[in-house]
Amino acid sequence: MSQNVNQPASKRLADYRAPAFLIPELSLSFRLVPTATIVTACSRVVRNGAHNEPLVLDGEDLELLEASINGQSVAVQQQPGKLLLETDLDEFELTLVTRINPQDNSTLEGLYMSDGAYCTQCEAEGFRRITYFLDRPDVLAKYNVRIEAPVAFKYLLSNGNKVDSGELEDGWHYACWQDPFPKPSYLFALVAGDMDLLEDSFCTVSGRNVKLQVFVDKGNLHKAHHAMASLKKAMAWDEHRFGLEYDLDIYMIVAVDFFNMGAMENKGLNIFNTKYVLADEQSATDDDFHGIESVIGHEYFHNWTGDRVTCRDWFQLSLKEGLTVFRDQEFSSDVGSRPVNRIHAIKVIKNQQFAEDAGPMSHPIRPEEVIEMNNFYTVTVYNKGAEVIRMMHTLLGEEGFQAGMKLYFARHDGQAVTCDDFVQAMQDASGKDLTQFRRWYSQAGTPQVSVTDSFDTDAGIYRLQLTQNTPQRPGEPAKLPLHIPFSLELLDCQGNTLLNEVLDFTEAEQAFEFTGIHTPVVPSLLQDFSAPVRLDYQFTVEQLLVLMAHASSEVARWEASVTLFSQAVWKNVARLQQQQGMVLDNRIIDGFRGVILSDGLDHALAAEILKMPSVSTLMEQVSEVALDALLCARDYVVDSIATACEEEVLARYQVLHNIDDAGSRAFGNALLTLLARGADGHEALLERQFYHATNMTEALGALSAAVEGNSDCRDALLAAFEQRWNKVPLVMDKWFSLQANINAPDVLQRLQQLQQHPAFSMGNPNRVRALLGTFAAANVAQFHRADGAGYRFMTEIIKQLNSSNPQVAARIITPLIQFGKLDAQRQQQIRQCLQQLLALPDLSRDLYEKVTKALQA
């Protein structure tokens, strides 16, 4: 296919070349003016090897004012996105002066303003919006930064240590920062503003004292304590579990309301979305508290896995992200509930990553071809990447894995390296052959593992027959068998454990025999989701009930409940398609009743089971979906359980809802949701919990139950909530999200009205995600309305965001490009919407990449 010159080009991993020049040192000076900031960049440039290529720098939306080499003004050539300089010198000082406009930068990349403060976001390729530079992660420089601004911008911050500060004329002041660690440009950060500051300190294992600072918008200091406590926990945990100590004298976190992502690990100066910093019990839920702990941990852990050792090129993103997600998951599991954290991680893979891998953006955890790098901050690179690290941990054990980490740092501290370098360190330190395992890095798609078994009573032998197959897509090479750690428990019919082990499943077809087995077996397969694969095994209801009650792994108990529920839904989908009435086996109801009544089960785990699989979880289990039948069948199964168990649910709720711990609150809220959905509706209980709530978890639990139950009190509760919280943006996000989830035909009008709400703004990604992102991703029934109005509504939103914030536009388009399993009519409606987007004259590279891939599918 020929390429139009206007079509964005892709980059390939196979084309990687070392940089033609290196920049070991960089001095940056900023004179901050909202619409005309002057940036002076002084680089020491060194030719890398013998060649006579020109110096080619990256730059976007910059106005070049001056260019000089060793103090002599120099001619430059400007091309779209590039600056070319011809020189014979092998080493020289390059000075570039540019003008930028932070105030009008709505992309929130590079230097921009959030609520009157200056801040930056440079990963992946945002630094080129600040100055012309070799904006690639394998160019590591030592930074010296000088910031000048009016004194009203009280704090002037950058990476490393503050080495100087003082006053200037005309009410201005300055500060100078030095970062002793060489770093790639994507880790640069600058903040200037007047904020509230929470200070504390941490004494490291070797006795160094580190100053800790959390900066928040004025008036929010009381909401910064949980973030600070989480940071100290993370620092102690990394020393204890990984032997890794912090390396600068100061660690700063700044919370900003306008941010495209969750947070950013800039060396010594993390910048966070307020969503992952601000919390108190009145305004944040237990889930919010956990989210903050996990993201604070994630960014802190990047200091070693990302900053000290970074990526050679962006195709290696999973080197730092998969590993750091694994580390933050382990942190959350060590300081909180391991099974509940594992369940959350499994849900992300099954609901989102499987969908991505089955859709047009499918890619391996180490992608090979990219048009816009921002499109590859994905659940595949991050979360499947973390599963790949977890499998290595399973294969090597904690000791072998930690030996691998040690060797990795010994070899690569201060370097920009590849995923292969990481696996090699793991292999060399443990002696475990990871040759076949490396295929996980290069093969996209979700492997399908099918299991059959047989039992030879006379010989006492239980046989398992495993096959694996990864679907091959057009244009992809044939898929090879993967090294799959397959964790297994065998139970007898009473639920006693017969055996627990991890099989090395490496062939396309492989049989395993277990001797000395003299009773029928209930297998718990792929325990704790020991590999990111789809599992196919025909469980009987009896087997699932045994697993739900007795599997040694609590995660396996939850998995059994998901399978039990899913089977009931699919059976009814089939019945609907045959014009038969829906039915629900009493044994299934009894299984869930057991969870409602159970004394032995952890409350948080019981809550997870009673939430029951979402429509998106169910959709991921099949290759073609009759959506209307699925929605109907799922409602039927949930409502039937809710109605049949109403008495037990009510009794359990009454005794539970005063217990003061997060697990019990989650259990209570799950029960209340069932009450709202049951025959009676229990309006009085919803109102009571809402109006008497002493924390956000309870208030939101009641409100969300009222939304899910389409309760009569819903709109009154929503109005009361708005009255109380309309001045607190992060809480209004919850209010926006709940309404985006309302399953009623007038929800589109509601969304339009809410876009006019004073608390809403299309310029703020948190608001956009809360209202519009939630609608597209979570309100399956209304987004996929048969008349296509949901698709058209989102298309208009995406058109708007295409010009102002392409990154956010490309994120919220996800549900619109994953249409492969829908019926022909819906697919056709979506294609028409995508065609409209493709015709936009100023279509961003971000959307171009996704829309063209979707239309090719």
Whose CA is closest to 680, among 653, 703, 647, 704? 647
Q: Pick what 264 binds: ligand 7MK, Zn ion, none; C-beta below 5 to 8 Å, kind-dependent.
A: ligand 7MK
Closest distance to Zn ion from the beta carbon of 264 (Å): 8
**Footprint of ligand 7MK on 658-717 (CB under 6 A):** none
Closest distance to Zn ion from the beta carbon of 331 (Å): 13
Of the pair 298, 767, the CB lying nearest ligand 7MK is at 298
**Footprint of ligand 7MK on 189-248 (CB under 6 A):** none
Of the pair 109, 286, the CB lying nearest ligand 7MK is at 109
Closest distance to Zn ion from the beta carbon of 261 (Å): 9
Closest distance to ligand 7MK from the beta carbon of 676 (Å): 33
Q: Pick what 183 binds: Zn ion, ligand 7MK, none; C-beta below 5 to 8 Å, kind-dependent.
A: none
Of the pair 94, 373, the CB lying nearest ligand 7MK is at 373
Closest distance to ligand 7MK from the beta carbon of 408 (Å): 19
Active-site residue flag, 299: yes
Q: Is 84 exposed, middle or buried (0-12, 13-18, 19+ CB in 10 A)?
A: middle
124 preceded by cis ω (within 30°)? yes
Residue 264 near ligand 7MK by CB under 6 A: yes
CA–CA distance, 852 with 835 (Å, rounded to integer): 9
Encoded one letter per residue, x for contact with Zn ion by CB under 5 A and - for no contact, window 560-599 reads ----------------------------------------
Of 135, 321, 356, 387, the one binding ligand 7MK (CB under 6 A) is 321
Residue 356 near ligand 7MK by CB under 6 A: no
**Contacts with ligand 7MK: how many residues (CB under 6 A)?**
12
* Paired strand residues for 190: 158
Closest distance to ligand 7MK from the beta carbon of 397 (Å): 27
- What six digits make up the tokens of 446? 């979700």
Closest distance to Zn ion from the beta carbon of 259 (Å): 14
Q: Is 17 exposed, middle or buried (0-12, 13-18, 19+ CB in 10 A)?
A: exposed
Determine the interface stretch with ligand 7MK among 249-257, 263-271, 350-358, 815-823 (rule: CB under 6 A).
263-271
CA atoms within a 13 Å half-sphere pointing along the CA-CB vector of 642? 25
DSSP type of residue 583? -
Encoded one letter per residue, x for contact with ligand 7MK by CB under 6 A and - for no contact, window 816-855 reads ----------------------------------------
How far apart are the two ends of the chain, measured CA to CA in Å? 16
> Chain centroid to CA 146: how far?
34
- What six digits make up the tokens of 221? 């200091």
- 709: phi then psi, degrees, rounded to nearest 5: -85, 5
CA atoms within a 13 Å half-sphere pointing along the CA-CB vector of 274? 24
DSSP type of residue 223? G
Determine the interface stretch with ligand 7MK among 259-267, 350-358, 583-591, 805-813 (rule: CB under 6 A).
259-267
Q: Pick what 526 binds: ligand 7MK, Zn ion, none; C-beta below 5 to 8 Å, kind-dependent.
A: none
Q: Pick what 263 binds: Zn ion, ligand 7MK, none; C-beta below 5 to 8 Å, kind-dependent.
A: ligand 7MK
Closest distance to ligand 7MK from the beta carbon of 311 (Å): 10
Q: Which amino acid is at 346?
A: I
Q: Pick what 495 binds: ligand 7MK, Zn ion, none; C-beta below 5 to 8 Å, kind-dependent.
A: none
CA atoms within a 13 Å half-sphere pointing along the CA-CB vector of 346? 21
For β-strands 310-311 and 196-203, DSSP reports them as: unpaired
Angle at which helix 789-804 crosses helix 747-755, to 10 degrees, equals: 20
**Footprint of Zn ion on 303-332 (CB under 5 A):** 321, 324
Determine the interface stretch with ligand 7MK among 97-105, 257-265, 419-427, 784-792 (rule: CB under 6 A).
257-265
- Close Cβ partners of 322 (under 8 Å, ≥ 6 residues apart): 365, 381, 382, 384, 385, 386, 388, 389
Whose CA is closest to 721, among 709, 735, 733, 711? 735
What Cα–Cα distance (Å) separates residue 44 from each residue in 69, 70, 136, 360, 597?
A: 10, 10, 16, 43, 70
DSSP type of residue 683? H
Q: Which of 109, 125, 299, 356 is catalytic?
A: 299
Encoded one letter per residue, x for contact with ligand 7MK by CB under 6 A and - for no contact, window 120-139 reads ---x----------------
Of 252, 263, 464, 675, the one binding ligand 7MK (CB under 6 A) is 263
CA–CA distance, 110 with 374 (Å, rounded to integer): 13
CA–CA distance, 248 with 26 (Å, rounded to integer): 19
Q: Pick what 190 binds: Zn ion, ligand 7MK, none; C-beta below 5 to 8 Å, kind-dependent.
A: none
Q: By the 8 A CB rule, do 40 and 97 touch?
A: yes
CA–CA distance, 305 with 227 (Å, rounded to integer): 21
Of the pair 124, 466, the CB lying nearest ligand 7MK is at 124
Q: Which residues of 347-375 are buried (b: 16+ CB within 10 A; e: fewer)?
A: bbbbbbbbbbbbbbbbbbbbbeebbbbbb
Whose CA is closest to 386, among 437, 468, 320? 320
**Footprint of ligand 7MK on 362-391 (CB under 6 A):** 377, 382
Of 58, 265, 328, 356, the one binding ligand 7MK (CB under 6 A) is 265
Of 135, 148, 288, 299, the one binding ligand 7MK (CB under 6 A) is 299
Determine the interface stretch with ligand 7MK among 69-77, 296-304, 438-446, 660-668 (rule: CB under 6 A).
296-304
Determine the interface stretch with ligand 7MK among 125-133, 205-213, 262-270, 415-423 (rule: CB under 6 A).
262-270
Of the pair 377, 793, the CB lying nearest ligand 7MK is at 377
Of the pair 302, 826, the CB lying nearest ligand 7MK is at 302
Of the pair 109, 698, the CB lying nearest ligand 7MK is at 109
Helix (H, G, I), strand (E, B) or coil at 441: helix
Helix (H, G, I), strand (E, B) or coil at 509: strand
Of the pair 264, 645, the CB lying nearest ligand 7MK is at 264
Of the pair 321, 489, the CB lying nearest ligand 7MK is at 321
* Paired strand residues for 113: 118
CA angle 216, 217, 218 (to 5 degrees): 110
Residue by residue, DSSP assigns 688-727 as HHHHH-SSHHHHHHHHHHHHHTT-TTHHHHHHHHHHHHTT
Determine the interface stretch with ligand 7MK among 170-178, 297-305, 427-435, 638-646 (rule: CB under 6 A).
297-305
Residues interacting with Zn ion, by CB under 5 A?
A: 321, 324
Q: Contact positions toward ligand 7MK, by CB under 6 A? A: 123, 261-265, 298-299, 302, 321, 377, 382
Active site residue ranges: 299
